[in-house]
Amino acid sequence: MKVLKDLYYTKDHEWLKVEGDEAYIGLTDFAQDSLGDIVYVELPEVDDEFSKEDAFAAVESVKAASDVFMPVDGKIVEVNEALLDEPGLINEDPYENWIAKIEIADKSQLDELLSADEYEKLLDEEV
């Protein structure tokens, strides 16, 4: 499974790419592979605020629905609307096709997230 360096990860298989005070959130390669073909994505509204570990979006395969959780506290500043018409983009390239862009409320929370190395270790344990 592909794991990119320089991203933060959660144990729920989200990734976080930080740019200044903002960050993109998406699903990892492992997550999209476990889900199978994604046929539906539910996105939050811009300006919605969420706490760390809140479900802020949902992705669904034919078989099952799965929540996407906030890696840190934050406010939605942009959503990837392309996913509404083409949810399968996440399967094609999970790191390119982010779900939402957030404004991070408290950057010190980033320290609690997993590094690429730590996330790879977690995957080894799950497999």
Partner 1 sequence: MVAKKTPLYDEHVKLGGKIVDYAGWFLPVQYEGLIPEHEAVRNAAGIFDVSHMGEVMVKGKDALAFLQYLLTNDISKLVEDQVMYTIMCYPDGGAVDDLLVYKFGEEEYLLVINAANTDKDIKWMIDNKKDFNIIIENISDQVGLMAVQGPNAEKILQKLTDFDLSTIGNYHFKRNVNFAGKECLISRTGYTGEDGFEVCTKAEDTVEVWNKILEAGEEFGLKPAGLGARDTLRFEASMPLYGNEISEEITPLEAGLKFFVKLDKAEDFIGKEALTKQWNEGLKRKVVGFELLGRGIPRDGYEVQKDGKKIGHVTTGYMSPTLKKSIGNALIDTEYAQLGNEIDVMIRNKPVKAKIIDRRFLKNR
Return residues touching partner 1 (CB under 8 A): 36-37, 39-40, 42, 55, 58, 60-65
Q: How far is the CB of 37 from partner 1 (least distance, A)?
A: 5
Contact between residue 38 and residue 91 where contact means Cβ atoms under 8 Å apart: yes
Closer of 64 and 82 to partner 1 (Cβ): 64
Q: How many whole angstroms separate alpha carbon 70 and alpha carbon 10?
A: 9
Minimum Å gap between C-beta 5 and partner 1 is: 29
Nearer to partner 1, 23 or 43 (CB): 43
DSSP 114: B
Which CB, 4 or 39, lies closer to partner 1? 39
Question: Toward partner 1, which CB reaches closer, 40 or 117?
Answer: 40
Give the 3-state secondary structure of 1-66.
CCCCCCCEECCCCEEEEEECCEEEEEECHHHHHHHCCEEEEECCCCCCEECCCCEEEEEEECCCEE
Q: What is the nearest approach in angstroms of partner 1 to the Cβ of residue 45?
A: 12
User: Residue 93: CB partners within 8 Å, gap ≥ 6?
Assistant: none
Least distance CB 42 / partner 1 (angstroms): 7
